[in-house]
């Protein structure tokens, strides 16, 4: 895919990898739409990137996804690329019985992309060339006990993406997976990412991760493993 003059929707596009995606994809001449839960962050993103289009939406809420699809497809009938980037990570101790929302990462990191794809699939099928990009993680390939639900959700997203790719092979939709390693994004610099050896992992700068994603998509490389993620996948074959 050329990634120029496309219309691209990015979930979780107000910070970290999502915001950098918006920045670099705008620079290539694309129409870029980002979503987020926080209106203040959406406004800040719009101020930083005036050409961006913003919509408040929550991938953990099925009705919010339905409303988003209705609004976005009405405003941008040429939408042809969906990037499922929104995600959360938490440190969880299964011995702690006080967690009220122990499955929230599954709701956001796995169920969210699945619901987004189902909602936007008819729109993507209308276009001459379309793509879905699911952002998983290098932690989809190894065990990371400090953030077990996040890891499990990303394992699920990896498997889902492979199945989705096979089912959509006869269509005009290419299905990509970006599996970032530990990065300089805020998510990977909290306590849960820097415990039990996490702080010893090399960090890849977010602009490098996004540049790798863009190069991979332009070359139609369906599984994009920047930096250490290639090693994590290989290592995971012998340890999981």
pLDDT in tens, 100-121: 678 899 999 999 999 999 999 9
pLDDT at residue 198 is higher than 50:
no
Supply the residues annotated as catalytic: 150
Report yes or no: 108 and 156 within 8 Å, Cβ to Cβ: no
How high is the pLDDT of residue 185? 61
Q: How far apart are CA 177 and CA 84, in angstroms?
A: 10
pLDDT at 236: 61
pLDDT recorded at residue 119: 98
For residues 231 and 12, the model is more confident at 12
Q: Considering the chain, what is the average pLDDT of its residues?
A: 90
What is the chain's length? 240
Residue 36, beta-bridge partner list:
56
Separation of alpha carbons 184 and 221, rounded Å: 24
pTM: 0.91
- Check residues 146 and 195 and name the one with the higher pLDDT: 146
Average pLDDT score over residue span 188-214: 71
Name the one residue in this structure whose structure tokens are 């332009």.
Answer: 218
DSSP 8-class letter at 234: H
Instruction: Answer whether residue 189 shows pLDDT above 90.
Output: no
Q: How far apart are CA 52 and CA 223, in angstroms?
A: 27
């Amino acid at each position: 895919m050329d990634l120029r003059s496309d219309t691209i929707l990015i979930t979780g596009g107000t910070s970290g990898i999502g915001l950098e995606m918006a920045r670099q994809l705008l620079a290539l001449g694309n129409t870029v739409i980002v979503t987020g839960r926080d209106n203040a962050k959406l406004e800040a993103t719009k101020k930083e990137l005036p050409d961006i289009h913003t919509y408040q939406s929550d991938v953990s809420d099925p009705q919010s996804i339905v409303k988003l699809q209705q609004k976005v497809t009405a405003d941008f009938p040429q939408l042809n690329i969906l990037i499922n980037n929104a995600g959360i990570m938490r440190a969880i101790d299964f011995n702690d019985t006080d967690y009220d929302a122990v499955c929230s990462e599954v709701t956001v990191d796995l169920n969210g992309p699945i619901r987004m794809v189902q909602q936007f699939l008819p729109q993507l099928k209308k276009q001459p060339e379309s793509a879905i990009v699911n952002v998983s993680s290098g932690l989809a390939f190894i065990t990371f006990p400090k953030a077990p639900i996040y890891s499990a959700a990303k394992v699920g997203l990896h498997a889902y993406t492979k199945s989705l790719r096979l089912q959509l092979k006869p269509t005009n939709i290419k299905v990509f997976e970006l599996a970032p390693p530990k990065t300089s994004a805020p998510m990977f610099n909290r306590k849960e990412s820097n415990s039990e050896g996490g702080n010893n992992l090399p960090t890849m700068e977010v602009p490098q991760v996004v540049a790798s994603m863009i190069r991979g998509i332009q070359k139609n490389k369906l599984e994009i493993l920047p930096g250490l993620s290639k090693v994590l996948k290989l290592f995971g074959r012998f340890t999981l």
